[in-house]
Amino acid sequence: MNVFVIRGKRLIAAVTAVVLTAALAAVFFQSPARREEPVPELECDCGAESDSPVLHEEKSYIKWVDFDIPSSLLEKAMRLDIDTYGTDRHVSWIDMLAYLACKCGGNFKAHRTKDWKALVQKLDEGQTMEQLAADMEYYSYYQEAYTAILGGFLGEFDIELDDPEHPGEKKWMHQYGLKAYSPIAEGYSYGDYDDFGSSRSYGYKRRHLGHDMMGSVGTPIVAVESGIVEALGWNQYGGWRIGIRSFDTKRYYYYAHLRRDHPYQSGLSVGSVVQAGDVIGYLGMTGYSQKENVNNINTPHLHFGMQIIFDESQKEGNGEIWIDVYDITQLLKKHRSTVAKDEQTREYTRVYRFRDPVTGHS
Ligand SMILES: [Zn+2]
């Protein structure tokens, strides 16, 4: 009898173990699509598997964002934000875009121009975004998501511009507007198309989680937003690459395949502060090699990526969120940093100095 009871307990223990194992497996594999979520093309600094996904599920933060707002709409919303700045009618472009996302269910391929026109009209009539979005269930989600992506693009800043009254001299101007720059310096041509998500095969099959901008070797590469250098050095996918994190920590900008022998602007190292529009490196064709300083990319180009995080756990591993930055680069195409060659150092530096208040110093 005792033996039977013990066997019974063992049976219960065994069944419990099987059930627990199955439950644990279900937690790990509950989302097959997510498990297959590719490791980003270039970011391989990540160590082994990060901490348990079970823990992630318990915390509340945004796990995924699709970003497909056309550059034409980004520009219209940005213009209205800038034009109304400093008035009591100021309206944030992020709020407008969040509102429009609710209107099209977050799928901007379904966006209708009449929704934009109707919004502008309602704002003209004196309604506020708070009133207009009061009943929108997902408004705050899109607000938070788009703030993570675009939060560093508009703001006040000081820039040194040509002084019209004193030809040949410059003077500091205080402005509000677009303070993010195209990653390609002014005067340098490049070719591109929306290549986010297309497949790549070096190493193992994975999706392309960034944007390639084809240009000439040596083209000065510019910091899109001000931030702190978080990664700098060789990576077997990205070659010579640099990663810069925004001051609010939400955005990680990734610039890869930089030039052999002279990839980075001198003086840069992990921890350096860069201002938007600063030259940070030079376009090249390094990468796809475990050996350092090797050109193993066929076409010279900049790989430009943006990863956003809402929680530290999303920095590395399966929870990474990489944004389709194609429309962002289209928006920034007209906003380039002017650079000039310094004959002494043979490097390129920006012509118009810039002070971004977020960097906390000038
Ligand atoms: Zn790429």
Cα 212 to middle of ligand 1, angstroms:
5
Q: Which domains does the chain have, with CATH numbers?
A: 71-150 (no CATH), 181-354 (2.70.70.10)
58 vs 9, more confident: 58
Cα 209 to middle of ligand 1, angstroms:
7
The H or E element spanning position 83 is: helix 71-84
Cα 227 to middle of ligand 1, angstroms:
22
Residue 11 has pLDDT above 60, yes or no: no
Cα 313 to middle of ligand 1, angstroms:
24
Tokens 């030039």 -> residue: 259
Residues 6+ apart with CB under 8 A from 138: 101, 102, 106
Q: Give percent of the chain above pLDDT 90.
A: 79
What does the block give as tokens for 109?
A: 């391929």
Cα 33 to middle of ligand 1, angstroms:
22
d(CA 178, CA 239): 30
Cα 41 to middle of ligand 1, angstroms:
7
23 vs 204, more confident: 204
Label residue 166 left, alpha or beta by phi (over 0 means left) and psi (-120 to 50 means alpha): beta
Cα 184 to middle of ligand 1, angstroms:
15
Q: Give percent of the chain above pLDDT 70.
A: 82
Q: Report the mean per-residue pLDDT for the chain.
A: 87
Least confident of 164-178, 189-203, 267-281, 323-337: 189-203
What's phi and psi for 294, nearest 5 deg?
-115, 135
Give the pLDDT mean for 201-222: 88
340 vs 55, more confident: 340
pLDDT band for position 203 (cuts 50, 70, 90): low
Residue 91 has pLDDT above 60, yes or no: yes
Cα 272 to middle of ligand 1, angstroms:
25
